[in-house]
Chain A
Amino acid sequence: MLLVVEQFLNGLQFGLLLFLLAAGLTLVFGIMDLVNLAHGSLYMMGAYFAATFAAWTGSFLAGALMALGATLVLGIVLEVTALRHLYGRDHLDHVLATFGLILFFNEAVRLIWGPAGLALPLPAWLTVPVPILPGIHYPAYRLAIIAVALLVALLLYLGVMRTRIGMLIRAGASNREMIGALGINIKLLYTLVFGLGAALAGLAGLMQAPILTVQIGMGENILILAFVIIVIGGIGSIRGAFLAAIFVGMIDTLGRAFLPNLLRQVLSGAAASTAAPALSSMLIYLLMAIVLVVRPEGLFPANRR
Chain B
Amino acid sequence: MKGLSVSKAVTALMLAGLVLLPLYSQLSGNIFILTLFTRIIILALAAASLNLIMGFGGMMSFGHAAYLGIGGYAVGMLAQEGIGSGFIQFPVALAASAIYALVIGALSLRTRGVYFIMITLAFAQMAYYVASGLARYGGDDGLTIYNRSDFSGLVNLGNRVQFYYLCLACLFGVIFLIWRIVNSRFGLVVQGLRSNEQRMQAIGFPAKRYQLVCFVISGTMCGLAGALLANNTDFVSPAVMYWTRSGDLMVMVILGGMGTLFGPIMGAVVFLLLEEFLSQITEYWALIMGPLLLLIVLFGRGGIMGVLGRAGRG
Contact = CB atoms under 8 A, between A and B. Distances in A.
Given A96-B250, A100-B294, A106 B110 contact: no
Interface in A76-104: 82, 85-86, 89, 91-93, 95-97, 99-104
A96 B255 CA distance: 10
Nearest to B124: A224
Nearest to A231: B118
Nearest to A29: B114
A95 B251 CA distance: 10
Interface residues of A, number: 45
B201 interface: no
Contact of B254 (A85, A92, A274, A298): A92
B92 interface: no
B254 A228 contact: no
Contact of B291 (A100, A230, A278): A100
A99 B119 CA distance: 17
Interface string B121-161: 11101100110111110000000000000000000000000
Contacts of B130: 278, 281-282
A108 interface: yes
Contacts of A230: 118
Given A95-B62, A100-B293, A278 B119 contact: no
Contact of A285 (B110, B123, B135, B251): B123
Nearest to B139: A277
Nearest to A104: B290
A110 interface: yes
Interface string A151-188: 00000000000000000000000000000000000000
A231 B115 contact: yes
Interface majority SS on A: helix, strand, loop or mixed?
helix
B293 A97 contact: yes
A123 interface: no
Interface stretch (B29-37, B82-90, B281-289): B281-289
B122 A102 contact: no
Contacts of B188: none
A70 to B, nearest CB: 20
Interface stretch (A5-13, A135-143, A202-210, A289-297): A289-297
A17 interface: no
A96 B117 contact: no
Given A99-B247, A107-B287, A278-B130, A288 B122 contact: yes
Contacts of A298: 115
Contacts of A289: 107, 123
The 4 nearest A-B residue pairs measured at CB: A100-B293, A104-B290, A278-B133, A103-B290
30 contacts: A29-B114, A35-B114, A35-B117, A85-B298, A86-B298, A91-B113, A92-B54, A92-B60, A92-B250, A95-B62, A95-B250, A96-B254, A96-B297, A99-B244, A103-B287, A104-B291, A106-B286, A107-B286, A108-B287, A111-B284, A227-B122, A230-B118, A231-B115, A278-B134, A288-B119, A292-B107, A292-B110, A292-B119, A296-B110, A296-B115
